[in-house]
Amino acid sequence: MDINQIEHAIKQHAPSKAKGVNLVMAFVWGGGIGLAGQLILEGYMSLFNLSFQQAAACTSMTFIAFASLLTGLGAYDWLAQHAGAGLFIPITGFSNALTSCALEAKSEGLIYGIGSNMFKLAGSVLTYGIVTAYVLGIIRMVIGL
């Protein structure tokens, strides 16, 4: 069998990627989350008399809790199929990665299940987040000298 022939056939039948639709959906969902975040932030600041930093942390927590809840209810993966990067990139994606892994490992118990598997997907975000922060911190310190 000719490999070129196979590859040609595969290329021909690859479904056209709906890049345009994905872009628009990601923009709408990502933008929507940003807008909702801003409103919640302003709301927390004026309703509970919080400082900007306190309110910002509370806003993140709100999204984390909400995404986690939706994951548990089984609605998140359906939404994510449509929203794509719009839900994946904001903190909702991180929350979903943790919750979905924890849910999946529930049947193996608290220690070997949830405990060791919860960071299976989100682990690399944390590892490289911390490493990057460390490296950039040193660079900043050196430049600041």
Partner 1 sequence: MEKQGLLGGQLDVVFDEIYCGEKTYEMAERRLLSAAVDVMLKKGNLKASDVDCYVGSDLINQLGTAHYFMKHMEQSFFGVYAACSASTVSSALCGILIEGGFAQKACAFASSHNATAERQFRYPNEYGIQKPDTTTFTVTGAGAICFSNQKSKIRLASATIGKVIDFGFKNVNDMGSAMAPAAFDTIMTHFKNTDTSFDDYDLVITGDLSKVGHSVLFDLFRSKGIETDAKLSDCGLLVYNLNEQPVFSGGSGCACSMIATIASIFPKMIKGEFKRVLVAATGALLSPVMVQQKDSIPCISHCVVYERTDL
Residues that bind partner 1 (CB under 8 A): 1, 3, 5-6, 9-10, 12-15, 17, 22, 71-72, 74, 76-77, 79-81, 84-85, 87-88, 93, 96-97, 99-101, 103-104, 107, 120-121
Under 8 Å CB-to-CB from 39, ≥6 apart: which residues? none
CB nearer to partner 1: give 59 or 96: 96
Smallest separation, CB 62 to partner 1 (Å) = 18
CB nearer to partner 1: give 17 or 53: 17
CB nearer to partner 1: give 58 or 103: 103
CB nearer to partner 1: give 41 or 80: 80
Residue with tokens 């990502």: 30
Distance of alpha carbon 33 from alpha carbon 27, whole angstroms: 10
User: Alpha carbon of 54 to those of 18, 45, 89, 126, 139: distances in Å?
Assistant: 40, 8, 22, 22, 28
Smallest separation, CB 68 to partner 1 (Å) = 10
Smallest separation, CB 120 to partner 1 (Å) = 8
Smallest separation, CB 55 to partner 1 (Å) = 26
CB 66 within 8 A of CB 92: yes
Q: What share of the chain is helix, strand, coil (3-state, %, to 5)?
A: 85, 0, 15
Smallest separation, CB 106 to partner 1 (Å) = 9
CB nearer to partner 1: give 11 or 111: 11
DSSP string, 18-37: -HHHHHHHHHHHHHHHHHHH
**Which tokens sit at 97?**
């990665």
